Amino acid sequence: MLLEFEIENYKSFKDRVKFSMIPAPKQKGLDYSILHKKIDKKEYKALSSSVIYGPNAAGKTNIIGAMQTFKNIVLRGNIRNSAPVPSPNAAEYALELIPNNTLKEKKNVFFSINFIQEEMNIKYSILLDLGIFLDKESQRSVVEEILEIDGKTVYRRLKKSITFENLNFFNDFFFPGFKKDFNTLYPFLQTSLKEDDLFLMNGFKTIVSSNIAEFISDYLTNYFKTVYRADTVYTAPVFNTNSITDENLNEAAMAFGINSNKLVYVKNKNSDNPPVLCSLMPNKKIVPSEFFESYGTVRFVNIFPIVADALRTGSTLIIDEFDSSIHPSAIMDIITIFHNDDVNINHAQLIFNTHNPLYLNNNLFRRDEIKFIDRNDETKCSRHYSLSDFGTKGTTARKGKDYMNNYFMDEYGAIRDIDFSDIFLKIIKGN
């Protein structure tokens, strides 16, 4: 269950930004949108969904890209470039693309995540020196690294200096003998740490606590699911997990409106390529679905297993352009399922960006679930805020107001007044 994600100096976000899934104070109504988790005597609350609005090129996708980049840096365990991966988010493996391109001098890059998984509240933060934009030769280093569990600091790393705290509290998580041999192991941890390695996935994992490191790794791998470009999603491999069957898929397809042909995945035995989604015709012949079905149909079929898997596992699903080419009624039904305590029994969360104003509905989303990304035309930098930041007294953001109409009236920002007429006129006249 994601509580907060913070970034600073990531692409268009020059200043620090906190993307919060913690309910805003004094918000009333739609309480079914709030997830509850009690650890010991402390109760945590989180929003079950969030929708992000903003004009093109404002930075909506950069928020999701930052989550995916952070995830891959942590799992890799270092801030060195890796071999290119089949992802449209090049910052995952080419870290010189991360720093804001308007900065002339170096500024550190910051990532932080705060989440709850099982019975632990984890907060992990890293401050990185990645040089300036496109500087591949810069000497990279981890400036600061902090791990907290249930509000208590486990360790704090400042460059190559590591300080452990609350050793007695976390003793059960450590390797047997770590605390006993601490005076011997501590100098080794200090001297063996590389500047561009994350302590969490290196010395901490091998000498201090593999349990904690693997717990965080498992969360990022299996429960923090980022989709940087939804139009590139291809989910046939999901079927290897028993999370969804062909029967489930076809039931969903029929509910969506596909009722003419059965959908099947077909694997070419002579090729290493993944299975191809096909339509089974009445004469028992198969045709690749992209040749027969609409683009929206194929997109829905590819995305449905990801949504189902998130609900089954209780994951946080963060997806770019989730609703593209899919009818709003289908998207609204999926949103309400994440709000439905009888179905969303595992506390799954859905976060997505969109241009469709139909979801600006106070009967669908709470004000703190509606997020905005705007970009300053002068600084070229993005900012992030929530509809709940406007307050309620005497504003157009209070409950009961027409959010969609007010958005188009530029009451909330994050929208552009676009006029192409002069440009088209020049083209038409041949100037």
Lowest mean per-residue pLDDT among 139-153, 222-236, 335-349, 386-400 = 386-400
3-class secondary-structure state, position 87: coil
pLDDT at 215: 96
* Nearest by Cα to 76 from 189, 190, 198, 195: 198
* Nearest by Cα to 387 from 47, 116, 64, 114: 47
pLDDT digits (tens, 9 = 90+) for 88-117: 899 999 999 999 999 999 999 999 999 999
Q: Is the pLDDT assigned to residue 260 strictly greater than 70?
A: no
Mean pLDDT (the chain, rounded): 89
Tokens standing for 269?
């035995």
Lowest mean per-residue pLDDT among 131-135, 264-268, 404-408 = 264-268
Q: Residue 374: is it exposed, middle or buried by C-beta count within 10 angstroms (0-12/13-18/19+)?
A: buried
What is the full DSSP assignment across 374-425? EE-TTT--EEEEEGGGG-STTSTTSTTS-HHHHHHTTSS--------HHHHH
Task: Report percent pLDDT > 70 for the chain.
Answer: 93
- CA angle (37 as vertex; 36, 38 as ends), nearest 5: 125
pLDDT at 431: 63
pLDDT at 302: 83
Is residue 242 very low, low, confident or very high in pLDDT (cuts 50, 70, 90)?
low
Is residue 237 very low, low, confident or very high in pLDDT (cuts 50, 70, 90)?
very low
More reliable by pLDDT, 393 or 82: 82
What is the rounded average pLDDT of the residues 42-61? 94
Q: Is the pLDDT assigned to residue 273 strictly greater than 60?
A: yes
Helix (H) or strand (E) holding 292: helix 289-292
pLDDT at 300: 86
Task: Report percent pLDDT > 90 for the chain.
Answer: 56
pLDDT at 402: 85
CB 292 within 8 A of CB 261: yes
What is the rounded average pLDDT of the residues 363-373? 94
CB 52 within 8 A of CB 320: no
What is the rounded average pLDDT of the residues 80-89? 85
* HEC readout, 135-154: CCCCCCEEEEEEEEECCEEE
What is the full DSSP assignment across 246-284? HHHHHHHHHHHT--SSEEEEE--TT--SPPEEEEE-TTS
- Say what the pTM is: 0.91
**CATH 3.40.50 intervals, the chain:** 1-223+317-431
pLDDT digits (tens, 9 = 90+) for 120-151: 999 999 999 999 999 988 999 999 999 999 99
CB 210 within 8 A of CB 174: no
CB 246 within 8 A of CB 277: no
CATH number of the domain located at residue range(s) 1-223+317-431 in this protein: 3.40.50
Is residue 239 very low, low, confident or very high in pLDDT (cuts 50, 70, 90)?
very low
Question: Rounded to an integer, what is the distance from CA 76 to the centroid of its chain?
Answer: 17
CB 10 within 8 A of CB 97: no
pLDDT at 31: 85
Is residue 246 very low, low, confident or very high in pLDDT (cuts 50, 70, 90)?
confident
pLDDT digits (tens, 9 = 90+) for 341-350: 999 999 999 9
pLDDT at 400: 62
pLDDT at 221: 95
* Nearest by Cα to 61 from 409, 368, 424, 319: 319
Is residue 7 very low, low, confident or very high in pLDDT (cuts 50, 70, 90)?
very high
pLDDT at 399: 67
Q: Give me the half-sphere count of Cα atoms (radius 13 Å) on the Cβ side of residue 172.
A: 2
**In this structure, what DSSP letter does residue 78 have?**
B
pLDDT at 146: 98
Q: What is the C-alpha to C-alpha distance for residues 421 and 161, in angstroms, rounded to an integer?
A: 60
Is residue 205 very low, low, confident or very high in pLDDT (cuts 50, 70, 90)?
very high
Is residue 295 very low, low, confident or very high in pLDDT (cuts 50, 70, 90)?
confident
Q: Is the pLDDT assigned to residue 79 strictly greater than 80?
A: yes
Q: Give me the half-sphere count of Cα atoms (radius 13 Å) on the Cβ side of residue 10.
A: 31
Residue 134 Ramachandran class (φ > 0 left, ψ -120 to 50 alpha, else beta): left
What is the rounded average pLDDT of the residues 153-180? 90
